[in-house]
Chain A
């Protein structure tokens, strides 16, 4: 919509520059803009703002976001329309948020932005589902952008989303082949990096294990009558018998034996 609007303005400007009675043409072009609006209300730039009666509201209560199941029963045209309704709403919310910040006021119900975005994401998911279904049926492929599992420059596994080119790979001299098929994977530097990186990952895992063991000891001290099955379910890696024997788990009382 915005694109059309800009286009017409630009055309109008060109026409007005060329013709003698420029002003008249310009005005007619501006008047024609109103025909572009598909919504019933057209307030031009004021569409970026909320209804005037909501400006001083402190609580604008709205329902929840559209769910996937509710969108799946809607036709493509409906989804298309709904997308633009949501887009306008999101623009409006962002404008109002910006305006509220500018005027140092509290923006009422900021969760509306999240609700709109969740709905928009859900619409995208549904559209993608439909397109994937069509392409798998017709061509046997999903029609999604192909993604390849590669080993990157650091020697780590990476998802490489492929790009679309008009010439094949062997003709394309500008495509940096070495990005993926480089000789660095087996180099000393990459091997060293990989070794140190693995060490870091191992230490993160070990720290987590130690932290959990420590936490379980404290829990055993604080809640001696605790359900041990539930504790074990929450911390499956911790050896409870070992944890119970430790000094930390004992608590401040004399042992009975």
Chain B
């Protein structure tokens, strides 16, 4: 149980949101449990043998690549993560790069990897990578973006001055939680692209699967009418099942 809680803390909230998968599925897809004591026997404690340390990279936890990177035999060095408090960076944010070759340039966040305090900025901080090199084929060179640390690598851009700024979370008078630039005091809205998941770009654009999904109209329809009945009584009444027998007194101990 202890190990389980420990694991669940590791995958970031935004990662789960982006995947659009149930949390339980993400857990069971990346977890490596080698042994679990059988349930329901008093002589066995609820113990399990599982991998404790996973290396989170740009490969998302539910993918096959993640599993391959965390094979049973591989053990990698511990990654130290700077505690950063509340997360500030979302997909679609405009950020300025503070380190590396593209220092001073501004770009759009294309990926957020919360497990490592990383963001990937579109088309910036890149390196060249040779793909598919063979004896007979020289390979194709592609540009790939390297992740940047949110603590030292990037800063959000103030929409007023268009310059890098520190940001903090505050509440508006309506009680809404917003990001506010400390330089100009302007609200930096969370971009629409932050809603994007693996399945859809934004919530409204989700295409219902007519075979499997309940349509929104049916799901939102209110059919509940309060009655002084238990669930079972109501179902029996609607199905015309009559039960007049009184149950014998029983004892709970």
Chain A interface residues toward B at CB < 8 A? 51, 54, 60-66, 70, 72-80, 110-111, 113-115, 117-118, 127, 130-131, 134-135, 137-138, 143, 146, 162-169, 175, 215, 218-219, 222-223, 226-227, 230-231, 233-234
Contact = CB atoms under 8 A, between A and B. Distances in A.
B138 interface: no
The 7 closest A-B pairs by CB, nearest first: A111-B25, A114-B25, A114-B22, A76-B234, A75-B223, A234-B83, A63-B213
Contact of A76 (B29, B85, B235): B235
B134 interface: no
Interface stretch (B96-104, B186-194, B224-232): B224-232
Interface in B13-47: 20-22, 24-25, 28-29
B252 A131 contact: no
Given A63-B212, A66-B214, A73-B220, 5 more contacts: A74-B223, A75-B224, A143-B230, A165-B250, A227-B85
Interface of B is mostly: loop
Given A163-B252, A223-B82, A233-B85, A64 B223 contact: no
- B: interface residue count bin: 35 or more
Given A169-B251, A222-B80, A73 B24 contact: no
Contacts of B212: 60, 62-63
B253 A175 contact: yes
Contacts, number: 118
A163 B251 CA distance: 8
Contacts of A110: 25, 29
Interface of B: 20-22, 24-25, 28-29, 80, 82-85, 151, 199, 206, 208-209, 211-214, 219-225, 228-232, 234-235, 238, 248, 250-253
Interface of A is mostly: helix
A138 B80 CA distance: 57
Nearest to B151: A223
B80 A218 contact: yes
Contact of B253 (A54, A76, A163, A227): A163
Nearest to A62: B212
